[in-house]
Amino acid sequence: MPPSLTVLHQLAVGLECIHKMGLVHRDLKPENVLIWEDPRKGNVLLKWADFGLCKPVNERGSYSMSGVRGTFDWLAPEILNLFYDEELSQSESETTSTVKRGTIQSDVFSEGLVFGYFLLVGRHPFGFRHQIRTHILENEPVNLDNKFAGLPVQHPPTPKTSEVQQPVSLDHCHLP
């Protein structure tokens, strides 16, 4: 794998492209990261995958929600709250229906969880299995107590002047 900052940068630029294309992914998680290594040069390329839950967003980056979609352990707290609100209203037989709106900010939160998972070498920042959702809702990241203690710090090599990337533009997003 490339250095940590390179991995995080590639995924961040990928999500930026998704959002600039007017889409929200809604299912960012480690299992939806594709990793490809160039067999000749050894360069590693990471990309987001599985756009099955993707939705278009308006100019403000929001979208209408007809229900909660995604993998629960990787959802933002506002989306988890919508799910629990839906369950509560169904159990109370509420008949009034209000249109819920999600935003691309939920993708950014989920991406942060994936970053944490990568930096914590396979540990979810908010704990293990059945405690993750509760800890996300309570904003209690239990695996960050000793922030990366014992993990080797991987700094990317200082790029040569000719390798310095120009500011991000939509050109690299490969719009149709």
Tell me which residues are annotated as active site.
Answer: 27
SS3 helix, strand, coil % of the chain, rounded to 5?
40, 15, 45
The three-state secondary structure class of 28 is coil
Which of 37, 30, 46, 43 is closest to 119 using CA atoms? 30
| Rounded Cα–Cα distance for residues 37 and 5 (Å) | 17
One-letter amino acid of 13: V
User: How far, in Å, CA of 161 to CA of 17, rounded?
Assistant: 25
Question: Buried (b) or exposed (e) across 15-54, using 16+ Cβ within 10 A?
Answer: bbbbbeeebbbbbbbeebbeeeeeeeeeeeebebeeeeeb
